[in-house]
Chain A
Amino acid sequence: MASSDGNKNTEPWGGFDDNIIQGTGSAVIDMENMDDTSGSSFEDMGEMHQRMKEEEEVAEEAEATEEETGEDGEFLGMKGIKGQLGRQVADEVWQAGKRQASKAFNLYANIDILRPYFDVEPMQVRNRLIESMIPIRIIHFPQKIAGELYGPMMLVFTLVAILLHGMKTSGTVIREGTLMGTAIGTCFGYWLGVSSFIYFLAYLCNAQITMLQTLSLLGYGLFGHCVVLFVTYNVHFHSLFYILWLVVGGLSTLRMVAALISRTVGPTPRLVLCGTLGALHMLFLLYLHFAYHKIVEGILDTLEGPNMPPIQRVARDLPVVATAAMNAVNATVKTLGVILQSQ
């Protein structure tokens, strides 16, 4: 039985000491997750017991090898790395490495870091969705912005689904890449990129807002986009889109702008920050409508047509000039090849 806590080594050269490997495994102490049993004495007891058993096995193995090679003198125990000693060294190295790797993994790849931002109830999400369309006029003291990531993430994914629907029904053809990749890239790029940019501007303009709050604010602002795009991808009237763009887009922009104004001091910083955010938000909706949904005017006409299906992928027409140029290039290359071959 080991006499003291730290000395569990059975190697003559004094193996890897457990005291070197420090740290409790987590830098974030989250008191809510007390169902994690890593601190309980029962789990520790089991782990210590297992480790003591391992040490005993290693000790038995060491004794057995010493008995085998004992007659030839202890110098034979150092019979190169291929001997029993080498194997035990490799084993110790592996155990120590594994323990360190698992501790590092628990420290950095712990999704518990994000857990507080997903702590919401369905009622709260619903209320926040509705509130994102209602601008609040209080600008003399900071408005409360919820720091939550579930709602924004779900809204981004919903936007991706709506974009996909829009692209498919309009027959958009993406040449370099996939439809899904484009949709995901656009939506996530907007959410993360513009949030970071607004946070950077807020830092420059001395606004009291954290990165989490910009992510959350912008994410909930996408609710208006989702509604507008869902309606206008199915009902193809230009004027309806412009009205919805102004009204719905405008309301959600005003909500975000009011929240930012309440946290900024001074007319110029306010103007810069809110102007940028408003412009980007409204222009994004415009871009999404026109770039990802080429309104095929013929769809409305062909609903009565005999053979044309209402939903069909329509290829874009290559410009005539490009086709002619390609043909010319092909012809010259062919003639060159023939000339070279005949020589």
Chain B
Amino acid sequence: STMHVPTAAPKPNIFAGLSDVSISGDIPVEGEINVPVGTPIQDKEYSTLDEPVKDTILRDLKAVGKKFVHVMYPKKSSALLRDWDLWGPLLLCVTLALMLQGGSVNSKEDGGPQFAEVFVIIWFGSVIITLNSKLLGGTISFFQSLCVLGYCIMPLTVAMVVCRLVLLGGSWRFSFIVRLIVVTASFSWSTFASTAFLADYQPPNRKALVVYPVFLFYFVIGWMILTV
């Protein structure tokens, strides 16, 4: 067997000799080979194009549900980040916005802006936090961060439902204390869950700088839930 070795002589096109390189099988070769992942994903998309719609929806719903479970029990797993999607955040955001809107006592003037307010706050706030963490040297990608922040709104949505139920009955003073406790607990849970996912991707000495805007973000949402 022959082995072609690219010569050291300078060539105008340095890649010209590469196609001639061949190495015999019994010589161990060191190094890494990175295969660009273009083709396998394309194949997968073509094969899922023919399946019935029900399968696609069920698979996506299962993925979303799995991520909800990850948020409720935040362990250090990378599943939330690897297969990020924005369906969960959209669902949570719309639910929260609808429930906050329906809770206002006054006329239509206060009902309308509240849906847009919540929507804009959640998405605009997430974008700002993501940009901030990227500027501080984070290695997380833009959509992964949006995904994590959106999914971690779930405890606050649960708190919203509980507040709604508590408001239906009971004395006002008692219900306010209960709601305060519930909202505080869920807002700290949200902050803790999102930092569990996000803090690993930051330089270690700057974690506090990234956590503060997240804290502020969930605090504002929690405050809106409490005062509706």
User: B135–A173 contact, CB under 8 A?
Assistant: no
CA distance A332 to B113 in the complex (A): 32
CA distance A149 to B131 in the complex (A): 13
User: B209–A161 contact, CB under 8 A?
Assistant: no
CA distance A146 to B84 in the complex (A): 38
With beta carbons under 8 angstroms apart, the residue of A118, A174, A178, A180 that contacts B135 is A118
Known pairs A46-B36, A49-B15; A311 contacts B131 (CB<8 A): no
User: B220–A111 contact, CB under 8 A?
Assistant: no
Digit string of B213-228 for contact with A (CB within 8 Å is 1, else 0)? Answer: 1001001100100010
Chain A's closest residue to B207 (CB) is: A122
User: A178–B205 contact, CB under 8 A?
Assistant: no
User: B132–A118 contact, CB under 8 A?
Assistant: yes
Chain A's closest residue to B121 (CB) is: A180
Digit string of A165-177 for contact with B (CB within 8 Å is 1, else 0)? Answer: 1001100011101
User: A150–B209 contact, CB under 8 A?
Assistant: yes
Say yes or no for B110: interface residue by CB 8 A criterion.
Answer: yes
User: A122–B206 contact, CB under 8 A?
Assistant: yes
With beta carbons under 8 angstroms apart, the residue of A4, A121, A158, A178 that contacts B216 is A158
Cβ–Cβ < 8 Å partners of A62 in chain B = none
- Taking residues whose C-beta sits less than 8 angstroms from the other chain, chain B's interface range is 35 or more
Between A49, A153, A157, A177, the greatest number of chain B beta carbons within 10 A of the residue's beta carbon is seen for A157
Cβ–Cβ < 8 Å partners of A313 in chain B = 104-106, 110
CA distance A122 to B206 in the complex (A): 6
User: B15–A121 contact, CB under 8 A?
Assistant: no
- Taking residues whose C-beta sits less than 8 angstroms from the other chain, chain A's interface range is 35 or more
A-side binding surface: helix, strand, loop or mixed?
A: helix
User: B220–A122 contact, CB under 8 A?
Assistant: no
CB distance from B192 to the nearest CB of A (A): 19
Per the 8 Å Cβ criterion, residues 100-132 of B in contact with A are 104-106, 109-110, 113-114, 116-117, 120-121, 128, 131-132
Say yes or no for A279: interface residue by CB 8 A criterion.
Answer: no
Say yes or no for B2: interface residue by CB 8 A criterion.
Answer: no
Cβ–Cβ < 8 Å partners of A4 in chain B = 12-13
Known pairs A179-B117, A311-B227; A161 contacts B220 (CB<8 A): yes
Say yes or no for B16: interface residue by CB 8 A criterion.
Answer: yes
Known pairs A5-B12, A165-B223, A313-B106; A157 contacts B213 (CB<8 A): yes
With beta carbons under 8 angstroms apart, the residue of B121, B128, B176, B220 that contacts A309 is B176
User: A122–B208 contact, CB under 8 A?
Assistant: yes
Say yes or no for A120: interface residue by CB 8 A criterion.
Answer: yes
User: A45–B106 contact, CB under 8 A?
Assistant: no
Digit string of B176-200 for contact with A (CB within 8 Å is 1, else 0)? Answer: 1000000000000000000000000
Chain A's closest residue to B124 (CB) is: A184
Cβ–Cβ < 8 Å partners of B208 in chain A = 122
User: B135–A111 contact, CB under 8 A?
Assistant: yes
User: B216–A161 contact, CB under 8 A?
Assistant: yes
CA distance A230 to B60 in the complex (A): 44
CB distance from A82 to the nearest CB of B (A): 26
Cβ–Cβ < 8 Å partners of B227 in chain A = 168-169, 311
Q: Which 6 A-B pairs have the closest CB atoms?
A: A178-B113, A118-B135, A122-B208, A180-B117, A168-B227, A178-B117
12 additional A-B residue pairs with CB within 8 Å, beyond A2-B13, A174-B113: A3-B13, A46-B36, A48-B15, A50-B36, A111-B131, A122-B209, A150-B135, A161-B220, A168-B223, A178-B117, A181-B117, A310-B176
Chain B positions within 8 Å of A, measured between CB atoms, are 12-13, 15-16, 19, 34, 36, 104-106, 109-110, 113-114, 116-117, 120-121, 128, 131-132, 134-137, 172, 176, 205-206, 208-209, 212-213, 216, 219-220, 223, 227
Chain A positions within 8 Å of B, measured between CB atoms, are 1-5, 45-46, 48-50, 52, 111, 114-115, 118-122, 125, 150, 153-154, 157-158, 161, 164-165, 168-169, 173-175, 177-181, 307, 309-311, 313, 315
